[in-house]
């Protein structure tokens, strides 16, 4: 089920944006300039239909289910950092920043 939820290209970027707070459509466009408006609209609808986000007052918010993806995203970040070409200091700093972003303490 997790792989199916994250199967779309922009889902992870949108989730990460939402861990910084609620977002409006144009704010997603600003932080992800390569996504087309149509693709963003389709991805947000997909995420709503799958219970990851909800829309209220023209803002997108994480649902409880969406919030629970934080541990999955953090483990993916750890994997990426472990096998990246970055030096150890950059890896540690990146993971600490991501841990803080995802509110993992």
> What integer pLDDT is reported at residue 26 of this predicted model?
95
- Which residues in the chain land under pLDDT 70? 86-95, 98-99, 101-105
Domain that holds residue 88: 70-101
> What integer pLDDT is reported at residue 105 of this predicted model?
47
Same domain? For 38 and 82 the reply is no
> What integer pLDDT is reported at residue 82 of this predicted model?
76
pTM exceeds cut of 0.75: yes
Same domain? For 12 and 51 the reply is yes
Same domain? For 39 and 59 the reply is yes
10 Å CB burial of residue 81 (0-12, 13-18, 19+) is middle
Q: In 3D, which of 24, 86, 87 has the Cα closest to residue 53? A: 24
Same domain? For 41 and 89 the reply is no
> What integer pLDDT is reported at residue 59 of this predicted model?
96
CATH code where residue 37 lies: 1.10.10.10
Same domain? For 10 and 44 the reply is yes
Q: What total of structural domains would you count in the chain?
A: 2
Tokens 């919030």 sit on residue: 67
> What integer pLDDT is reported at residue 84 of this predicted model?
72
């Amino acid at each position: 089920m997790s792989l199916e939820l994250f199967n779309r290209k922009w889902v992870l970027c949108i989730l990460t944006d939402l861990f910084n707070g609620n977002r409006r459509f144009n704010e997603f466009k600003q932080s992800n300039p390569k996504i087309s408006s149509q693709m963003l609209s389709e991805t947000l609808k997909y995420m709503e239909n799958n219970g990851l986000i909800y829309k209220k007052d023209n803002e997108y918010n994480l649902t409880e289910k969406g919030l629970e993806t934080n541990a999955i995203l953090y483990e993916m970040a750890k994997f990426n950092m472990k096998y990246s070409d970055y030096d150890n200091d950059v890896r540690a700093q990146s993971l600490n920043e991501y841990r803080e972003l995802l509110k993992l303490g």
